[in-house]
Amino acid sequence: MVTFISSIAALEVFLSGLSDLMGARVSRPQLIAATCLLEAMIIIPIALSPSIIGQLDLIFGSGMQVLGSTLALLGLSWGLGKTKALRAVSGSERSGWHQPYYIWVKWVVPAALLSVLSGYVISRL
């Protein structure tokens, strides 16, 4: 039951964003119907071939999670810049641990994640 409720909440976020994007051009029932149709097109082939689930779990659970984490860190450290990134993380940009922390987040962690992702991709070939 909890998983079902979480799924509804996740879909509601998607539908609300899509509804805001579309405005009054598309009604909410039309968006719900289109979303259900899209989900059915994705789910039915997987349900008919359960071996795909294991492959998708490996791809999205192992590969895409690392890629998403790497992109988030790169967006934080490279996209925002040092001052904004440190303010976003700690509320200020000046403290004794901020410089080593920023170097760690900007260089070390993304390099480690990229090496893990590279190893994953190479192992899948």
Residues 35 and 56 in one domain: no
Give the lowest-confidence range in 84-88, 100-104, 115-119. Answer: 84-88
Q: CB–CB of 36/76 below 8 Å?
A: no
**44 and 95 co-located in one domain:** no
Which segment, 4-8, 55-59, 70-74, 90-94, is predicted with the most confidence on average?
70-74
For residues 49-62, average pLDDT: 80
Task: Give the number of domains in the chain.
Answer: 2
Residues 70 and 23 reside in one and the same domain: no
- Mean residue pLDDT of the chain comes to 85
Domain that holds residue 20: 1-48
Q: What is the pLDDT of residue 2?
A: 61
Residue 1: its pLDDT value, please? 60
Same domain for 68 and 112, yes or no, is yes
Q: Are residues 25 and 61 in the same domain?
A: no
